[in-house]
Structure 1
Amino acid sequence: MSTWMVGLGMGFLLTLVVEPNLRNYFKRIKVEQLVMRTNGRGPDHAAKAGTPTMGGAGFIPVVLIGYLIIGGLTHHYAATAFATLIGIFLYAIVGGLDDSVKIFNQRDEGFRFLPKLTVEILAAILGALVLWFGHFDFVLPLPLGLPAVHSVLVYTLFTIFWLVGWSNATNLTDGLDGLAAGAAIIAYSAYLILALQVGDSAMALVDALMVGALLAFMIFNRHPASIFMGDTGSLALGAGLAMNSLVLHQPWSLLLIGLVFMLDTLSVLIQVPVYYFTGKRVFLMTPIHHSFEKGGLTGNVEHPWSEWRVDGFFWGLGLLGALLYFIFF
């Protein structure tokens, strides 16, 4: 049996055991979702208040420990995998602090911006440092046929930008039961295939562990969710996807493989300045998945979509983006 298949199975089985126990423990100590405020402008998510959150604290350690065990036993340790795991781990820590502040201080705003950004930047620098010690080829391919950039400094700066951007993009998508987890399963599966294609068995193991863990997590996170992943999970997932695209030398692949996360982020980037300067909204609500929840494909609020329908639509977009990447690039 291939090592990545073992990782897939181990990620699934361990998460299947860990998550329900973590959920029950968090419920006892009141690690619960706050009421989602929409001020009457969006779908009513008040029923989600009190659902245990920080579910990322269950499946992220499974991936980290699973890699250390399987990678060590099968000699699949590599700088690319360790750099990716550092990004995942540190962003999970940032997310955990963010969740903790929100939950225990009972406020919408979490970890302060400056220390949060500092840790996020540190994660990117540490990842680049691990790659440097692993004799990684710091080549940043550019789009549109432009010559690639051979520079450790430029690569590190781009890594900082890429990790911060995609971790927060994934965080924006985590607004409906199962939406971010399902989109991440598709994206990590795409990078699993890409890692196998380029012969990076260590990254294939990391991605297989993540896919297996997320598949098990979806059992508890699907609508109606009994636990949310929280910032602990979403920030870590985004960082892992960003690192995948970088260490596999396919950074721009994430624009298609991470299509769902990009669309949610673009909707916010469009809506905020337009509303600020004109007082008008381009979309019913952002991130855009809430627009579909509120008014479907046509924007008719008389015919809102269920969470399952929104999930299915955006998962379909994620799958389409990944397929387009493999077909054309």
Structure 2
Amino acid sequence: MTAGARRAAAPRAGRQAGPAPDVFAPRGGNDQAEGPVPLHRLDVPAPHLLPFAIGSFDTIGPLSRAGFPHRHSFHEIVYVTGGTGSHVLDEDRWPLRPPHLCFIAPGQVHYWDRVAGLRGWVILFTDDFLLAHPGDRDALTELGERPWMRPGPKDAARMAGLVREMLWEYGERAPSFRSVLQAQLHILIARALRLSAPYGAPGPYGAGGSDGAAGRPGVRRTEPVPGRAALVSREFTRLLAQPGSVGRSVRSYADELGVSVGHLTELVKRSTGRTPGRLIRHAQTVEAKRLLSGSRLTVAQVARRVGFADPAYFCRFFRRETGLSPGDFRRAAGGAGGIHHELRAESIEGPARPE
């Protein structure tokens, strides 16, 4: 897309916009190089744009309702308001009886099966968009344990109103709209954590009970028992999220989990599409960004906090991962306490990066 075309496509004040064409590019881009399951990436190629997009299934594009198994490098929240068929998430099949609120974590395999009349909204964002509310990462992990929720009428109305406010904010792009969107996403996640009986989550097909019970308010099903890969991956992710853990080696995690390095790599890659080493490097990068943008620690102090004894090596690592030096990143973030817009987010059309 040319610069002129980008300017022409940019949202204008008062417009109820879906994602700008150069924020989320739904133009094919299935990445087969990272394994047999395609990996879709969020495209944020310019510094003034967000690692975030929101829109309807139609405005986001056909990949938002893909009928083939795939995974993402980013978080996805789906609020389904209409349609029939089912949603398959990590081999569990969830029937569509809207409204539904669904949380899809990076690396999870999912697809829409035999859907018709699918309506609703899709919210896409990377970990970088959570820097203002780092606790939301843990909340999303918790929500991943019950990813398919069915809110009652009052909760559904509140959720729909909040999503519409986010759509308006995203389309207007008024001053400080990034901060407002981060706050609104934080509220959405917090409200999702509240959702519980009597409008419990219907279980997937095959999880026990009859299919007819799944759609009735107050009926819960036994959750399926996760496979070995999912269990080990979940425990690895939990350990990685603990304070002070980002600088640990893959071997230290493998030893704690009682598996070999090779077996840990195989299981985590099978479950998430990424190796433990890649996930550790991503966690180090996110934590470094948080410290550089939100504290007055020196670059050397930040390096030590994220597991690098040599500041020079940390600077090379950080530049390779983000495209900026730590100093340039901090200046782009507006100094200590600022918030950075990702410059090198993964694109759904971009080439695979080596693990």
In terms of fraction of residues, the more strand-rich structure is 2
Greater RCO between the two (CA within 8 Å, min separation 6)? Answer: 1
Q: Which has the larger radius of gyration?
A: 2
In terms of fraction of residues, the more helix-rich structure is 1
Instruction: Calculate the TM-score normalised by the size of structure 2.
Output: 0.23
